[in-house]
Amino acid sequence: MNKNYFITGTDTDVGKTFVSELLLKQLNESERVVGYKPIAAGADMTPSGLRNDDALILQNACREPAPYDQINPICFEQEIAPHIAAKINKAPISVGQLNQWWDTVKNNSELSLIEGAGGWRLPLNDTEHLSDFVQQQNMQVIVVVGMKLGCLNHALLTIEAIKSDGLHITGWVANQLATPMAHYQENLDYLTDVLEVPVLAEIKSNHRYVEGSALFSL
């Protein structure tokens, strides 16, 4: 049975890629794990086509990397909300398209990490969200909380929404980001007390290693 973890976050720029890269590098020491970035907005045109930094980071973190187009099937050049980029580029995106892509890659490794885009309720089009894909695939979810001012509200709402979508939350990761927030420890203690899901790891500023044993029993 393959294990698939969807990595979401409390917002954009909260460390989803940073945490996924650390996880991929460490998990790859014992098994083949592949990291995916199904939807990316913000990419450079190269001779091989559009390339997004997050997808390249995930690709490079794997011991046996998958081809770029498998890792990142939907990529827009503009760094804007994906559903707007889809309209501008006349390239609609949908849950159906993501389901089709996932069918072609899901058996490539025993463990997959799938990085979301933005936060939990990311629009794909006028009626669908990226969370609908996660729900239809019944993936387990890991929530990266970017520890900065505003994160308490974002964390509470994100966990509430994932639970009301009926999905299992493996746990959350406290990511301190490059600059520690004021009263970091009190914020961490509060979330640890109220979130009612396990803390998988606490990642300090600029750490290059995940110090959380729970992550290695994924």
Q: Identify residues 142-171 at the interface with Mg ion (CB under 5 A).
A: none
Give the shortest CB-75-to-ligand ATP separation in angstroms: 13
Distances (CA, A) of 74 to 79, 113, 183, 207: 13, 16, 39, 30
Taking each helix axis as running N to C, give the angle between helix 16-27 and helix 53-60, from 0 to 180 degrees, rounded to the nearest 10.
20
Contact with Mg ion (CB under 5 A): which of 8, 10, 17, 131? 17
Structure token pair of residue 46: 């190269």
Name the strand (E) or helix (H) holding 164: helix 151-164
Write down the catalytic residue from 16, 37, 87, 204.
37
Give the shortest CB-1-to-ligand ATP separation in angstroms: 28
- Whole-angstrom distance, CA of residue 77 vs CA of residue 108: 27
Give the shortest CB-186-to-Mg ion separation in angstroms: 27
Which of Mg ion, ligand ATP, none does 186 bind, CB closer than 5 to 8 A by kind? none
Contact with Mg ion (CB under 5 A): which of 14, 27, 54, 66? 54
- Whole-angstrom distance, CA of residue 179 vs CA of residue 2: 36
With a CB cutoff of 8 Å and minimum separation 6, the contacts of 174 are 145, 147, 188, 191, 199, 201, 202, 203
Q: Identify residues 38-77 at the interface with ligand ATP (CB under 6 A).
A: 54
Which is nearer to ligand ATP, 117 or 195 (by Cβ)?
A: 117
Does residue 205 interact with ligand ATP by CB under 6 A? yes
Which of ligand ATP, Mg ion, none does 203 bind, CB closer than 5 to 8 A by kind? ligand ATP
By the 8 A CB rule, do 139 and 5 touch?
yes
Which is nearer to ligand ATP, 9 or 35 (by Cβ)?
A: 9
- The site that binds ligand ATP (CB under 6 A) totals a number of residues, namely 18
Contact footprint for Mg ion (CB under 5 A): 16-17, 54
Q: Which residues belong to the active site?
A: 37
